[in-house]
Structure 1
């Protein structure tokens, strides 16, 4: 009789314990599914934002890439060379930056920070001296000697906000 009661109690204990474990797993599954759903929504939103942000970018502009490829250029080497050409202008002597039409108003040099190649003719870049910021709009071309030529078209300096 004691063995029967002990066996029944053991079975009841195992049943209750197993039910609690299964209920906890089901709760965890529901939480993970909701987090996964939120993550999928976030990924979709970020993909849409990325698509919008990359619209004016040469990597997403098939016509601009085709233009260079038709002229026999390897775009995977050319585009970094275009960007590096502007960054190389940051290494200058004196106070006048070769591309930025302003003079630094601090003790620092004006430097081009960020460059975006828009297509096969246009570049937009920002610059700063650490305190003042601005942007430049540049056109570029490749001459018959395959040298890059940059031409400043438009520029602006943001007013300092205190």
Structure 2
């Protein structure tokens, strides 16, 4: 009789313990599925945002890439060359930047920081002298001798905020 009661108690203990473990696993699975769903939503939102941000970018512009490819250019080499051409303008002597129409108002030189090639004709870039910031809108073309020609179209300097 004692053996039977002991066995029943042992079985009840095993059942309750197993049920608690299974309930804990179920709860953990629900939490993980919830986190996974949130992560998937975040990834989807970031993919959509990335798509929107890359809209005005030559890498996502098939028409602009096709334009260069039709002329026989390798776009994987040409686009970095276009960007490097503007960055190389940062190596200048004197006060006048070759394409930025402002003169530095500090002891530093005006430098182009960030460049985005929009398509097969236009570039937007920002510049700074460390204290003052601005942007330029540049058109570019490749002449018959395969030389890059940049032309300043529009520019602006952000006003400073006096504190």
> Shared fold (TM-score greater than 0.5)?
yes
CA distance in 2, matches of 1:161, 1:36: 44
Which portions of structure 1, spanning 4 or more consecutive aligned residues, are displaced by more than 4 angstroms? Answer: none
Post-superposition shift, 1:139?
A: 0.5
Q: Are residues 1:144 and 2:156 paired? A: no
Cα shift readout 1:70-118 (whole Å, capped 9, x = no counterpart) = 0000000000110111111111122211111111111111111111000
TM-score, normalising length: structure 1: 0.95
Question: TM-score of the superposition, structure 2-length normalised?
Answer: 0.94
Residue 80 (structure 1) aligned with residue 76 (structure 2): no
CA–CA separation in structure 2 for the residues paired with 1:24 and 1:152: 66
Q: Distance in 2 between matches of 1:89 and 1:112?
A: 8
Partner of 1:14: 14
In the other structure, the counterpart of 1:49 is 49
Distance in structure 2 (CA, Å) of the matches to 1:53 and 1:94: 36
User: Which residue matches 2:2?
Assistant: 2
Q: Secondary structure at the match of 1:42?
A: helix
Matched, 1:121 2:121: yes
- Between Structure 1 and Structure 2, how many residues are aligned? 162
- Which deviates the most, 1-10 or 121-130? 1-10
Distance 1:161 1:30 in 2: 51
State yes or no: 1:107 paired with 2:118.
no
Measure the CA separation in 2 of the matches of 1:7 and 1:127.
82
> Could you say what secondary structure the match of 1:7 adopts?
helix
For the aligned residue pairs, the C-alpha RMSD in angstroms reads: 1.1
Instruction: Measure how far apart 1:55 and its partner are.
Output: 1.0
Is 2:7 aligned against 1:29?
A: no
Shift, 1:29, TM fit: 1.1
Counterpart Cα distance in 2 of 1:96 and 1:148: 20
The alpha-carbon deviation at position 123 of structure 1 amounts to: 0.2
Name structure 2 gaps, 5 residues minimum: none
